[in-house]
Amino acid sequence: FSDENAGVMARAINGDLWLSNYSSSSIEARRSADNGQSWSSVVTIKSGISDGLLDAVTFSSNGNDYVGVGYGENTGGGSEFGFLLHRDGDADGNWTDETSQMPALVDADSDDHVALAVSHNNEVDFTYKTKSQSSSGVGIGLYKRSASGSWQNFKVSEGGGWTRPAVIVDASNDEVYVFWTEESSPERGQYRKAQIGNESDLQTATIVDLF
């Protein structure tokens, strides 16, 4: 691992285990086809980026199965959120970078707070925290990757004051929840939710206190 930036693991739909981590301004990965008894050589899947946090998911898209790794760089000049994916069965080093397809942030820089989930219809939900540059800039947001591979960005909250977001999909009720914790007193754990397909409603949805 690099500094406080721990690795993440996901089991591909074909059964392979993938472990990804930050190291020396790069994201690395390695694969196990035997439940962790042995591991492939390390491959660098992206370089030239600042340290941050990762999360990983598995999903299907356009008839193929994938492992996806999302990242958030710690705030700095040109910092960004990004997403990398590997198709099951491809060579270990063959990853696709979709970062440029993700809508740009407005009045905000990335921060190293990310969490991913996958809906029952194979949409990837990527929630994040920013360092907002204005009271109207996104503070907590949600990227959504459709099953066909297109990206959208939704504002969940404006300005600052929240940290460590998480996202959960409730398949039974076709809803997506975005959670966060207040950074200062009273430090409540809170969430907003919306129907899948109506994620633009998150920005005005009622804030519910959990604790």
What string of pLDDT tens digits covers the 211 residues of the chain?
Answer: 556 677 899 999 999 999 999 888 899 999 999 999 999 999 999 999 888 899 999 999 999 999 999 999 887 777 899 999 999 999 999 999 999 999 988 878 888 899 999 999 999 999 999 988 877 778 899 999 999 999 999 999 988 888 999 999 999 999 999 999 999 999 999 999 999 999 999 999 999 999 9
Residue type present at position 156: V
User: What's the length of the chain?
Assistant: 211
Q: What are phi and psi of 107, to 5 degrees?
A: 55, 35
* pTM to 2 decimal places: 0.94
Residue 199 has which token pair?
């994620």
CB 118 within 8 A of CB 132: no
Q: Closest Cα partner for 25 from 45, 2, 50? A: 50
* Per-residue model confidence (pLDDT) at position 3: 65
* Per-residue model confidence (pLDDT) at position 74: 85
* Per-residue model confidence (pLDDT) at position 204: 96
CB 131 within 8 A of CB 109: yes
Q: Please state, as a whole number, how many other Cβ atoms lie within 10 Å of the Cβ of residue 173.
A: 10
CB 199 within 8 A of CB 153: no
* Per-residue model confidence (pLDDT) at position 24: 80
* Per-residue model confidence (pLDDT) at position 2: 58
| 157-172 confidence digits (pLDDT tens) | 988 888 999 999 999 9
| 115-147 confidence digits (pLDDT tens) | 999 999 999 999 999 988 877 778 899 999 999
CB 155 within 8 A of CB 202: yes
